[in-house]
Structure 1
Amino acid sequence: MNTVEVIKPGVLALLMDAGRKGQHGLGLTTGGPLDADAFFWANTLVRNTPNATAIEVSVGGMELRANAEVQIAVTGAQMPLFIDGNPRAIWQSHTVAAGSTIKLDFAKQGARAYLAVAGGFDVKPQFGSTATVVREGIGGLNGSALATGDALPVLAQRPTDDQMLPVNLWPTYPQHPVLRVIEGYQVAHFSAAQRALFYSHEYQLSQQCDRMGYRLRGPALQCDIGGIVSEGICLGAIQVPADGQPIVLLNDRQTIGGYPKIGSVFSADLALLGQLMPGATVSFAPISAEAAHAELLLAERRRLAATQQLERLS
């Protein structure tokens, strides 16, 4: 069986597919890549299906050995890629000879990169997904982050030509993104003055940031209710606990919660947040549900056109 061996796992490396859907009733969260676009393009560049299992590399410092010839692609954060010590470009695929080493250095910009192999990593799904959620001990290899010595099976696939995503299609990761917010029904419990405060000030990412959620620091928000009956929580929900400091909930969030929510970050903007490190700053702006739906439709059309362009160039 073809395998890729983990020599150094780096800060945090997780096997990941597109996410565990439809399992909230069992208390299992979604998981999946924090930067869904980068994950998609990593798989696309090696001609995988969009849900193929890849590696999410947080911060960097990972080193692998290919025990058979494989084709790889790395996308996302600016993590310098080296194959046998030679620098290689990200946002394109590379054929790696058997016995070669693959190294991702520490990120120069952004926080998360995605490494896909042609055919995908051959990992048994749990509850319909291979996405690793360490808090729940599920997915990946034994529900854990990758560790030195792990052997990752690779599904066999016929060799194909290497290809590059055109530079004009690369996403940009601003240092200070403006995250669009779809307000929910609980926004009525925040006065007009409190909403103005939220939208007119920047917030800093605290050190308490992980795949479960990002705790922010900035002007404290006041709400006329101290809590609610626990209810389901969507991706990107912005909880406001008693101290008034917002928490943006991400892929590994709990499935229910009892803090009031001012709204939810628009899903298309969550990748921008997931590519930030603690200490970075963000601002917020409202967007209507109708405008968000239109934006998602346009984004899907752009992705389809980009995929077709890539196929024409290959």
Structure 2
Amino acid sequence: MSLEVINSPIFVTIQDKGRFSYAHIGVTASGVMDEYAYYIANMLLGNSYSENILEIAFSNFQLKANSNTQIAVTGAICEVFINEKPYSSWQTINIKAGDIIKIGKILSGSKVYLGVKEGFKIQKEFGSYSTTIKENLGGLNANRLLKGDILPINEKLTYHKARLKECYIPKYEDTLDLRVILSYQDEFFNKEQIDKFFSSEFTITNEFNRMGCKLSGESIKCNINGIISEGISFGAIQITNDGQPIILLKDRQTIGGYPKIGSVLSIDCFKLAQAKPNTKIRFKLIDIKEAQKKLKEFYNSFN
């Protein structure tokens, strides 16, 4: 009872919410880049909200079903084929043994999520299924998926189907507004530099992966050259020596020594995860109380 990888995908990993409470020994949180798409996939399938899922970063990924199951594809808008027949994403699809599942071109966005009923039956490491390649943890053999990999699943034959309403399906745009909480070392940036940071438009560079997203634009000057290395949160915005911001994401290092002007609201990082190089970024200030309110609203919406 399994799904089998039948081509050579470029970068597909198994992820869940991530692993926590291990930063003190240098283990990053990891986890899905777009939690909205992740939660919706598990909701459609009737899974636990902590179930594992496939995160697909590039086009052309193919699986063969060796048993009956049900899948849901969410995230980036993409071509979905079952035995060469096209299907829409953001819905459940019933799969029979022998079916060929193909994720074709990614049309809008950049991360596709493929969940399966009751998840993949693999072992957790440090409390998580998430693949962290640089730390040799999680997933299937602590690596991205390769041709011939076998993903164990439970046999499930169901006739129930679910589809997300159109109004809840995200639209992936070429310009993003990211809300920022001023924090960390913002006192080391004078008012002119902070004003420049919030009034400028930045561009996502090709240096964008699961660890972080480097931007290009107006140079932001800091009054200090560096800091003693310290812990780093999801969404922290480092200002490097060249004055360009780096937004740190799920596979970020656990400590760092660049000054940080603030932190992107985590739920906005999920939108950032679906962006592509050359996307335009603008930052908007949000205070801590409003940020906490938005976070509660997001996660409570899945209860």
Q: TM-score, normalised by structure 2?
A: 0.97
Match of 1:280 in 2: 279
Q: Which amino acid aligns with 2:124?
A: P
Question: Paired residue for 1:63?
Answer: 62
Q: 1:227-238 maps to which residues of 2 (within 5 A)?
A: 227-238=226-237
Letter in 2 for 1:283: R
Cα distance in 1, alignment partners of residues 196 and 133 from structure 2: 36
SS at match of 1:282: strand
Cα distance change of structure 1 residues 119 and 157 upon mapping to structure 2, 3 Å threshold? farther
Residue 106 of structure 1 is matched in structure 2 by: 105
Structure 2 residue ranges without an equivalent (≥5): none
Code of the residue aligned with 1:120 in structure 2: it is G
Q: Secondary structure at the match of 1:109?
A: strand
| Residues 235 and 260 (structure 1), Cα distance of their counterparts in 2 relative to 1, 3 Å cut | same
Residue 206 of structure 2 corresponds to which residue in structure 1? 207
The equivalent residue for 1:300 is 299
Structure 1 spans left out of the alignment, 5+ residues: 305-314
- Counterpart code for 2:167: N
Q: Distance in 2 between matches of 1:155 and 1:36?
A: 24
Whole-Å separation in 2 of the counterparts to 1:124 and 1:157: 20
Once residues 166 and 193 of structure 1 are traced to their aligned partners in structure 2, the CA distance between those partners, rounded to angstroms, is: 44
Aligned counterpart, 1:262: 261
Distance 1:60 1:122 in 2: 25
Alpha-carbon distance between aligned partners in 2 of 1:8 and 1:85, rounded to the nearest angstrom:
15
SS in 1 for 2:147: coil
Quote the offset at 1:175 in angstroms. 1.9
Asked if 1:134 corresponds to 2:126, the answer is: no
* Stretch deviating more after TM superposition (39-48 or 150-159): 150-159
The equivalent residue for 1:47 is: 46
**Distance in 2 between residues matched to 1:245 and 1:216, nearest whole Å:** 6
Query: How many residue pairs end up in the alignment?
Result: 303
Q: CA deviation at 1:160?
A: 5.0
String of CA shifts for 1:176-225, please: whole Å, max 9, x gaps. 11000011141111111111111111111111110000111111110001
In 1, Cα distance between equivalents of 2:257 and 2:191? 22
Letter in 2 for 1:161: H
- Quick one: distance in 1 between partners of 2:22 and 2:163? 36
Please name the residue that 1:37 is paired with: 36
The answer for the alignment partner of 1:312 in structure 2 is: none
> In structure 2, what residue type is equivalent to 1:193?
E
1:149 maps to amino acid: G
Q: CA deviation at 1:243?
A: 0.8
Q: Alpha-carbon deviation of 1:136?
A: 1.3
Aligned residue in 1 for 2:240: 241
Secondary structure at the counterpart of residue 11 of structure 1: coil
Distance 2:157 2:223 in 1: 61
Structure 1 residue 156 displacement after superposition: 4.0
Residue type at the aligned position of 2:166: V
2:164 is paired with a residue whose SS is coil
Q: Secondary structure of 2:106's partner?
A: coil
Paired residue for 1:224?
223
Residue identity matched to 1:174: E
Offset of residue 10 of structure 1: 2.6
Q: Cα deviation per residue 1:252-303 (whole Å; 9 max; x = unaligned)?
A: 0000001000000001101111001112111111100100011122223433
Shift of 1:138: 1.0
Q: Quote the Cα distance in structure 1 between the aligned partners of 2:114 and 2:162.
A: 15
**Residue number in structure 1 paired with 2:92:** 93
- Within 2, Cα distance between the matches of 1:249 and 1:162? 37
Distance 1:52 1:209, change over 3 A: same
Question: What is the DSSP-based 3-state SS (H/G/I as helix, E as strand, rest coil) of the residue aligned with 1:106?
Answer: strand
- Comparing both structures, which one devotes a greater share of its residues to strand? 2
Aligned residues: CA RMSD = 1.2
- Offset at residue 106 of structure 1 (A): 2.2
Paired residue for 1:308? none
Answer yes or no: is the 8 Å Cα contact 1:12–1:60 preserved in 2: no
Name the CA distance, whole Å, in 1 between partners of 2:248 and 2:36.
18
CA 1:129–1:160 in 2, change beyond 3 Å: closer, same or farther?
farther
- Specify the SS of the correspondent of 2:105: coil
Distance 1:258 1:157 in 2: 49
> Does residue 1:155 correspond to 2:173, yes or no?
no
Shift in Å at residue 24 of structure 1? Answer: 0.7
- Distance in 2 separating the partners of 1:109 and 1:301: 27
Corresponding residue of 1:311: none
> Counterpart amino acid of 2:53?
A
Q: 1:26 to 1:83 in 2, by over 3 A?
A: same
Does the 8 A contact of 1:183 with 1:262 survive in 2? yes
For the Cα contact (< 8 Å) 1:119–1:156, is it kept in 2? Answer: no
**Do 1:212 and 1:249's aligned partners in 2 also have CA atoms closer than 8 Å?**
yes
Measured in 1, the distance between the counterparts of 2:184 and 2:2 equals 49
Q: How far does the alpha carbon of each residue in 1:35-78 deviate from its partner, in whole angstroms, 9 at most, with x for none?
A: 00101111111111011111000132111100111100000101
